[in-house]
A and B are shown apart, each in its own frame.
Chain A
Amino acid sequence: MTATQTLVCLRTAGQADPASLETYLKLGGYAQLKRLVTEKVKATEIISQVKLSGLRGRGGAGFPTGLKWSFMPRYFDGTKYLVCNTDEGEPGTFKDRDIIRYNPHQLIEGMAIAAYTLGARVGYNYIHGEIWQDYEIFEAALDEARQAGYLGENLFGTGFSFDLHAVHGYGAYICGEETALIESIEGKKGQPRFKPPFPASYGVFGKPTNVNNTESYTSIPWIMEHGGQAFQELGVANSGGTKIFSISGHVEKPGNYEVNMGISFAELLALAGGVWKGRQLKAVIPGGPSTAVLPASAIIGATMDYDGLSKAGSSLGAGSMIVMDETTCMVKALKRLSYFFFEESCGQCTPCREGTGWLYRVIKRIVDGQGRMEDLDLLTDVSSNISGRTICALGDAAATPVLSFIKHFRPEFEYYIQHGRSMVEDGVAVEEVAYA
C-alpha cells in the first residue's frame, strides 16, 4: 500500500500559485511548444510520438489519441479547428476542473502543440456550465498566455498562429458528447449529430475539427518532453501513461489522484483513505455511471486500466470512481442515476427519450413500494431495447447502470418489491450475488 501519485497533468499541485504562468514557466512550461514550433518539427514525427505514448482519450471513450490526430486532413483550404472537451457532467467526474483551475497553462500548451501539429488556426475549450469560477481562472490564464506570446499571431516569429478561446456551457450533460458539444459551440441545442461524417472532416462550422478531452491535451507537453516511450512505460500494456482518478462517495478523502495506469484498486482506494467510517466496501462504479457497477468482490483484485477493468466486467470510462459502502441501498442509488439520464436525454432519439423516462418511472414505483416482480424483466427489456438504437452513447449509458445493478444486486431489488422497503434499511444481510 505504498503507491504514490505521479503528477503529469496535475504537475503544479502543491505549488504556491499553481495556476499562474510564472509557476508553469518555472516548471519548464511552454518549452516544448517553443521547441517544436521553432525547430519546425514535422507533424508526422509528433503524431508518431503520441501514438507511441499509448495515450487514449481520457474523456471516457479511450480512443487512441495519436490515431485520432492522424484522421485530420493534412491539407485543407480554410480554417481547421481544435476543440477541448472540459464539459464534465458524468456523475463522479471532476478531474478536468482541477486541470483548468490548477494547471491551465499545461492544457493551453498541449492544445497549442496539437494546433501546430494539425494545422488548426482556432481552438475552443468548452467548459462545464456549473464551474463558473474555474472558467474565469481559465480565461485569466488565456489572457496571460496571449500577453506572453504563447497564443495569437506569428508565435515565436515563425508564422505559426493559434487563437484559443474559452466557451461556457450552461447545464447539459449531453454536450460532453463531441458532436453535441460542437452544436453547442455553434449556438444550438446540444443534440448529437449523425456520424459519419466525423468531426475530423465536418466539425465546428462544418470545418475539420479535432476534439480531445482536457486530460488528453494536458498529457501532450509531458510526452513531447520525455518521449512517447517514457509515457507508455508509466503505465501498462494498452494503457500508457498516468490517469487522474476522481474518487467520490464513501471514502475518507474524496478527490483527484493522478497515478500510473495499472495501479491496483486496493492501492488506489488506500490513497483516498479507504472506505470511510471503517465500513465495508459494497460496490464501486469504476468509471462513471455509464460504466457497469461492480460488487466489492469483483473489483477488489482488479487493476485500474483499460484491460484490467474490462476483465473485471466494467470499463475505465473517465476514471470516475464512485465508492459505495455497506449502507448503500442499490435500488435508491439506481433510481437517482436513472432520473439523471431521463433528465439529460436530449430528446432526439425515441428509444432514449421514451426509454429513459420509462426506466425511471418503473424504478421509482419500486422505491415507492408499488413494484411488481415482472418489473425486473421489464427494466432489462427496456434497457436492451435502448442500447445500440440511438445516435449517441447516452442511450447505452442509461441502460448500463440498470442492467449492471440488477445483474449484481438482484436480491435487493426483489426484496424491495416483495416488502416495499429497502433491504439495507431493514438491516437484512446483503447476500452478494455471484457475478460470474
Chain B
Amino acid sequence: MSLSAESLAKIERELAKYPPEHRQAAVMSALRIAQTEKGWLSKDTIAEVADYLRIPAIAALEVATFYNMYELEPVGKYKITVCTNISCMLRDSEEIVDHLEKKLGIGFNETTADGRFTLKEGECMGCCGGAPLFHINNTDMHEYLTPEKVDKILEGLDK
C-alpha cells in the first residue's frame, strides 16, 4: 500500500460515517483523498483504494470515471477549472478564459511545459452569484474574477 498513513487515516474517518458492512460508501472520498496525495488517479492508485475498501477495482474505476473532478491522467501542480456555464458566460467568463489561455500559453485540457498549470473547463459550481469564477485543485474557489485579479491570484501561488 503506497498511500500515506495520513491519507489512510482520512479514509478511516470517512468509513466511520457508514455502517461497517457498506465500505463502498467511502469510495468517493477515498478516491478524492488519494488524488489529493498523488495529484491524479492512476489505475494502480484506484486499485489500491479498491483493495483497501475490499471492493472490486472495477467498482472504484466506475466511480472515478463517472465524476468529473477526478483526474485520470497527470495534471499540473495547479489545476485551474473555469466555469463557463450560463451565469458565468453572462458575466464574461470568456474574457477570463482568453486571458488564462494567453498568459499560460495553453488551452483547455492542456498542461504548461513546466508542469505548473493545467487548464480545465468546468460545469456549474453552484456559486453563480460570484461569477465569473474558477477553482484551483478542486478546493480553492476564486470569485468575481477580472484579468487583473487572475494575475494576482497566479502570482500568489508557490513556484
Interface on A for B, CB 8 Å cutoff? Answer: 79, 88-94, 96-97, 124, 128-133, 165, 167-173, 184-190, 205, 246-250, 254-256, 285, 289, 320, 322-324, 328, 333, 336-337, 340, 343-344, 346
**B110-143 interface with A by 8 A CB criterion:** 122-131, 135, 138-141
**Residue contact B25 to A172, C-beta cutoff 8 Å:** no
Nearest-neighbour CB distance to chain B for A324, whole angstroms, equals: 6
**Residue contact B123 to A89, C-beta cutoff 8 Å:** yes
**Residue contact B129 to A187, C-beta cutoff 8 Å:** no
**B18-65 interface with A by 8 A CB criterion:** 19, 22, 24-29, 31-32, 53, 55, 59, 62-63
Nearest-neighbour CB distance to chain A for B73, whole angstroms, equals: 16
**Residue contact A168 to B124, C-beta cutoff 8 Å:** no
**Within 8 Å of chain A (Cβ to Cβ): is B85?**
yes
**Residue contact B67 to A172, C-beta cutoff 8 Å:** yes
Task: Determine which of A128, A247, A320, A337 lies in contact with B125 in the assembled complex, contact meaning CB atoms within 8 Å.
Answer: A128
**Residue contact A130 to B129, C-beta cutoff 8 Å:** no
Task: Give the most central of B63, B124, B125: most A CB within 10 Å.
Answer: B124
* 21 chain-A/chain-B pairs, Cβ below 8 angstroms: A89-B123, A89-B124, A91-B128, A128-B125, A130-B141, A131-B126, A170-B69, A171-B68, A184-B28, A185-B25, A187-B24, A187-B59, A188-B59, A189-B63, A190-B66, A246-B128, A254-B87, A255-B129, A256-B129, A324-B90, A340-B85
**Residue contact B128 to A169, C-beta cutoff 8 Å:** no
Knowing A90-B124, A168-B29, the reply to whether A248 touches B90 (Cβ < 8 A) is: yes
Nearest-neighbour CB distance to chain A for B65, whole angstroms, equals: 8
Knowing A129-B67, A168-B32, A187-B63, the reply to whether A248 touches B128 (Cβ < 8 A) is: yes
Interface on B for A, CB 8 Å cutoff? Answer: 17, 19, 22, 24-29, 31-32, 53, 55, 59, 62-63, 66-70, 84-87, 89-91, 122-131, 135, 138-141
List chain B residues, Cβ under 8 A from A170: 28, 31-32, 67-70
**Residue contact A168 to B28, C-beta cutoff 8 Å:** yes
**Residue contact A169 to B28, C-beta cutoff 8 Å:** yes
Q: Which residue of B lies closest to A166 (CB)?
A: B17
Q: Which residue of B lies closest to A168 (CB)?
A: B29
**Residue contact A333 to B86, C-beta cutoff 8 Å:** yes
Q: Which residue of A lies closest to B35 (CB)?
A: A170
List chain A residues, Cβ under 8 A from B125: 89, 128, 130-131
Q: Which residue of A lies closest to B24 (CB)?
A: A187
Nearest-neighbour CB distance to chain A for B93, whole angstroms, equals: 10
A254 to B144, CA, bound (A): 10
**Residue contact B124 to A171, C-beta cutoff 8 Å:** no
Q: Which residue of A lies closest to B62 (CB)?
A: A189
A89 to B86, CA, bound (A): 12
List chain A residues, Cβ under 8 A from B131: 248, 254
Task: Determine which of B67, B90, B141 lies in contact with A328 in the assembled complex, contact meaning CB atoms within 8 Å.
Answer: B90
**Residue contact B129 to A246, C-beta cutoff 8 Å:** yes
Task: Give the most central of A91, A92, A187: most B CB within 10 Å.
Answer: A187
Nearest-neighbour CB distance to chain B for A164, whole angstroms, equals: 10
Q: Which residue of A lies closest to B65 (CB)?
A: A189
**Residue contact B86 to A92, C-beta cutoff 8 Å:** yes
A255 to B143, CA, bound (A): 12
List chain B residues, Cβ under 8 A from A285: 86
**Residue contact A333 to B122, C-beta cutoff 8 Å:** no
Closest 4 CB pairs of A and B: A130-B125, A171-B69, A187-B24, A88-B126
Q: Which residue of A lies closest to B131 (CB)?
A: A248
Q: Which residue of A lies closest to B135 (CB)?
A: A130
**Residue contact A97 to B127, C-beta cutoff 8 Å:** yes
Q: A97-B126, A130-B126 known; 19 other A-B pairs, CB under 8 Å?
A: A89-B126, A91-B87, A128-B125, A128-B126, A130-B122, A130-B135, A131-B127, A132-B138, A133-B140, A171-B68, A171-B123, A172-B66, A186-B25, A187-B28, A187-B59, A190-B66, A246-B128, A248-B90, A254-B131
List chain A residues, Cβ under 8 A from B124: 89-93, 173, 340
List chain A residues, Cβ under 8 A from B17: 124, 165, 167
Q: Which residue of B lies closest to A136 (CB)?
A: B139
**Residue contact A336 to B85, C-beta cutoff 8 Å:** yes
List chain B residues, Cβ under 8 A from A187: 22, 24-28, 53, 55, 59, 63
List chain B residues, Cβ under 8 A from A337: 86
**Residue contact B87 to A130, C-beta cutoff 8 Å:** no
Task: Determine which of B31, B84, B87, B135 lies in contact with A249 in the assembled complex, contact meaning CB atoms within 8 Å.
Answer: B87
**Residue contact B129 to A336, C-beta cutoff 8 Å:** no
List chain A residues, Cβ under 8 A from B26: 187
Nearest-neighbour CB distance to chain B for A70, whole angstroms, equals: 27
A344 to B89, CA, bound (A): 18
List chain B residues, Cβ under 8 A from A247: 129
Nearest-neighbour CB distance to chain B for A283, whole angstroms, equals: 11
**Residue contact A186 to B24, C-beta cutoff 8 Å:** yes
**Residue contact B127 to A94, C-beta cutoff 8 Å:** yes
Q: Which residue of B lies closest to A328 (CB)?
A: B90
A128 to B126, CA, bound (A): 8
A93 to B67, CA, bound (A): 20
**Residue contact B129 to A94, C-beta cutoff 8 Å:** yes
A188 to B131, CA, bound (A): 31
A320 to B24, CA, bound (A): 34
List chain B residues, Cβ under 8 A from A92: 86-87, 124, 128
List chain B residues, Cβ under 8 A from A189: 62-63, 66
